[in-house]
Amino acid sequence: MISNIVKKINTIPQVYAFLFFEFMIGVRVYAEFGKENPLTIAVFQLFWFTSVLIYFFALFKWMLKLKDEDLTFFSLGGFLPMIPVVYALLAGRELTLNFVEPTSFPAVLKNIFTLEAAHSYNWALFPELLALLLLSFAAGWLISGKALKSAFTALSATASSFLMLGFSWISVDPKHPALFVLRSGLKNHQNYALYYISFFIIFSCVAFKEQLSDFIKGFKRKWLFAVLLLLGVLTDFAAFWCFGIDFTAFDLVVNFLPALALVLMPSLIKSKSYKLSFLFGWSVLGALTILFFPPRF
C-alpha cells in the first residue's frame, strides 16, 4: 500500500513538485525576514534550501540507487522549513537563526550531532533537523526497502549537508564570523547567493549525471565544448562589466557556473536534456535577479 502511494506521488510531474518546494521556501523566507529585506536575501535563502534538496537527492540516489522520479517524493518535503517558524511562534520566542558559526570545530560537531537542540538562538532548528533526519530515513526506506542503509544515508546527508552548506566557511563581510574573509565587489548576500547557486548547479550535475554525460557525448566535435567553456569565462567577465561591478577573483569563481549555465542553455534545450536545462535555467534566473536588483546596503 505504501509503495503504491509513493508511486502515485512520483507520477506528479517533477517540475510541479520542484516549484511547490520553491513556493514553500519562499513562504519560509518571507516569514523569517519579512518584506522589507532585499530580494538578494530571498534568492540566497532560496538556493541555500534548494541546494540541500538536490544534495539529499543526489546522495540518496547514489547510495540507495533511487530513480530520477523519486525527486518528486523528496520535493514534497518543502513543508519542513516552516517548522522553525511555527515552533518559535508556539514557544513565544524570537526567530533568529544563523545555522553553524565557525567558533571551534568541537563546538560545530556538537551543534551538528545534537541538531542544535541546546544552542542559544539556533534552538528553533532542532525540530526541523530532527524531522529532516527521520523523514529522509523513512523516504529512503519506503522507496528502497533498505532500512539500515537508509538510516546511514539519512544521518550522513544531514550531517554533511549541515557542515557543507550551513557552516560559515567563507564571508565577504568582515563583521560576519567565518573561517575565511575574502574581498569582493559584491554585497554580502549577493555573493552568498552566487555561492549557493554554484553549489546548486554542481549538485544538479551530480544528481543527473547521466543526462550530463549524454549531453557531453552529444558533441561530435569535442572542441565545441571547449568553445562553450571559453564563452562561459567571457560571459562571466561580461556580467560584471555590464553591471559596472568592481569584481575580484572570488567573484569570478562564484559567478562562473551561472555564466556557463547561461551559455549552455541553447545546447541543452536542443539536446532535450530537460532536467538540466530547467535547473540551469533556474540558476541563471537567480543569478540575474541579484545582479539586476542589488541590495540597498
| Each residue's pLDDT tens digit, 57-79 | 999 998 988 888 888 878 877 88
Distance CA 146, CA 45 (A): 33
Q: Give, to the nearest 10 degrees, the angle between helix 39-64 and helix 147-165.
A: 150
81-87 long-range contacts, Cβ below 8 Å, gap at least 24? Answer: 81/24, 81/25, 81/28, 81/49, 81/128, 82/24, 82/27, 82/28, 82/31, 83/127, 83/128, 83/131, 84/32, 84/124, 84/125, 84/127, 84/128, 85/28, 85/31, 85/32, 85/124, 87/124, 87/127, 87/128
Place of cell 537508509: 150
CB 94 within 8 A of CB 88: yes
pLDDT digits (tens, 9 = 90+) for 117-131: 776 666 677 888 888
Of 169, 257, 273, the closest CA to residue 212 belongs to 273
Distance CA 84, CA 64 (A): 29
Q: What pLDDT sits at residue 297?
A: 54
Confidence of residue 234 (pLDDT cuts 50, 70, 90): very high
pLDDT digits (tens, 9 = 90+) for 174-225: 777 677 777 888 888 888 889 999 999 999 999 998 888 888 887 777 788 8
Q: What pLDDT sits at residue 152?
A: 93
Instruction: Compute φ and ψ for 100, nearest 5 degrees.
Output: -110, 120
Exposure of 174 in the CB half-sphere (CA atoms within 13 A): 1
| DSSP secondary structure code for residue 199 in this structure | H
C-alpha cell at 252: 569570478
Place of cell 541579484: 290
Regarding predicted confidence, which is higher, 12 or 277? 277
Tell me the torsion sign for CA atoms 191, 192, 195, 198: negative
Q: What pLDDT sits at residue 154?
A: 92
Q: 12: part of which helix (H) or strand (E)? A: none
C-alpha cell at 242: 555590464
